[in-house]
Amino acid sequence: MDVLIVEPLEPEVVQWLGARHGTRHAPQLARDPRDFREALFQVRAVIIPPSVALDAAALQAAPMLRIVGRLSAGAENIDLDACTRAGVEVVRPATASAQAEAEFAVGAVLQMLRRVPVLNAEGLLVGRELGSATVGLVGMTPAARPLAQLLAAFGARVVGYDPAVHASDSLWTRWGIEPLAMRELMERCDAVCVLLTYFTRYQGLFGERFLSACKPNQVLVSLAHSNLFDEAALAEVLASGRMTAAWFDSMEPGMLDPGRPLHDVDTVQVTPRVAGTTRESRVRGAWAVARRIDEVLQSTPARRQFKATSPGDFADLADDPAPG
């Protein structure tokens, strides 16, 4: 068997792969780690959901594995270092969910600007319009480009920051985003959308230094890893009312538990990683992963498998054609 599909997948994609390679579609293996590892023995490619772990131990059970596919852009539960050492490619559809994430971020900002009122000059509680806002994008991921386009269509001013992209890079101009330093972005923006890809060096990036400088009545939407945020600093700026509301589409388990800084903060909203999950993005992602798997398998011949033998079997093996 060449391809093991554990992720629920579009029937057309499963059929397309099945016409080219020996394929097993077994989503039930996601609930049984032991059976999943046993099923990996002669598999050359596997497509797994975020709930299934592919670590060094699983890779040892998969000596023929050459590529692992993930429909979501994240790499949760995949040991990337172990895959590199084993020569296993990890393919993720980096752009498939970009449009979905952009639309989600716009919707979240619109809701918070209207649903969480602020005091106007007459002392009335009122909502705000996106068209008159300055919106900061932190992280130039694939979603940043369609998000900037959608925001500009509303009439918003779009600024951005990415620690890995210099202010002189032509990317800013091509995507219609004005680059700013992080602190300046926080000081000027009515809304901030955090898209930044998480690396451990960015842990706690949004701490007291930047959050305390946020523009009064700012709202924040994060589609990124919640470890980018310092819990205490975020709780303080929200409890004080300086930041009006924050929406996280993913938050590490336990961050809202009793005893944690954000537990009693009622202006935090959390959704269960739904920003990039739409019917359309799933189809785009499935086809992107399937085509790459097909390319790898077509270009990498299956290695010959050696079966266990007893001394009496050697005569039979001698009749096999010599390699090459």
Give dist(CA 31, CA 83) in Å, integer.
Answer: 22
Same domain flag for 111 and 62: no
316 within domain boundaries = no
In a domain, residue 257? The reply is yes
- The partner residues of 119 in beta bridges, in order of sequence, read 125
CATH of the domain at 126: 3.40.50.720
Q: Report how many domains make up the chain.
A: 2
- 104 and 33 inside one domain: no
134-138 vs 89-91, strand pairing mode: unpaired
Q: d(Cα 72, Cα 307) in Å, to the nearest integer? A: 37
Give the pLDDT of residue 74.
67
Q: Is residue 210 part of a domain?
A: yes
> Contact 190/170 with Cβ under 8 angstroms?
no
Whether 318 maps to a domain, the answer reads no
Cα 282–Cα 284–Cα 289 angle in degrees, nearest 5: 95
So what's the pLDDT on residue 73? 67
Q: Which domain holds residue 161?
A: 98-270
Same domain, 145 and 256: yes
Tens-digit pLDDT profile for the chain (324 aa)?
A: 899 999 988 999 999 999 999 999 999 999 999 999 999 999 999 999 988 999 999 999 999 999 999 987 666 788 989 999 999 999 988 899 999 999 999 999 999 999 988 888 888 888 999 999 999 999 999 999 999 999 999 999 999 999 999 999 999 999 999 999 999 999 999 999 999 988 889 999 999 999 999 999 999 999 999 999 999 999 999 999 999 999 999 898 899 999 999 999 999 999 998 999 899 999 999 999 999 999 999 997 665 444 444 444 433 433 444 444
pLDDT value of position 306: 40
**With left for phi above 0 and alpha for psi between -120 and 50, is residue 28 left, alpha or beta?**
alpha
Q: Where does the chain have alpha helices with state H?
A: 11-18, 33-39, 56-60, 80-86, 98-115, 144-154, 171-175, 182-188, 208-211, 231-239, 279-299, 314-317
Is 288 within a domain?
A: yes
On whether residue 147 sits in a domain, the answer given is: yes
For helices 144-154 and 98-115, what crossing angle results, to 10°?
A: 40
- Specify the DSSP element, H or E, that contains 4: strand 3-5
Residue 164 resides in a domain: yes
Q: Are residues 233 and 183 in the same domain?
A: yes
- Whether residues 113 and 14 share a domain: the answer is no
CA distances from 161 to 18, 45, 176, 258, 320 (A): 44, 37, 13, 34, 62
Residues 102 and 195 in one domain: yes
151 in the same domain as 129: yes
Predicted pLDDT at 239: 95
DSSP state letters, 257-274: STTSTTTT-TTEEE--S-
Shared domain check, 263 and 283: no
Q: Say whether both 254 and 107 belong to one domain.
A: yes
Instruction: Judge if 290 and 241 occupy the same domain.
Output: no
* Domain final position from 227, 244, 270: 270
Q: Is residue 261 part of a domain?
A: yes
- Same domain? For 22 and 83 the reply is yes
259 & 283 share domain: no
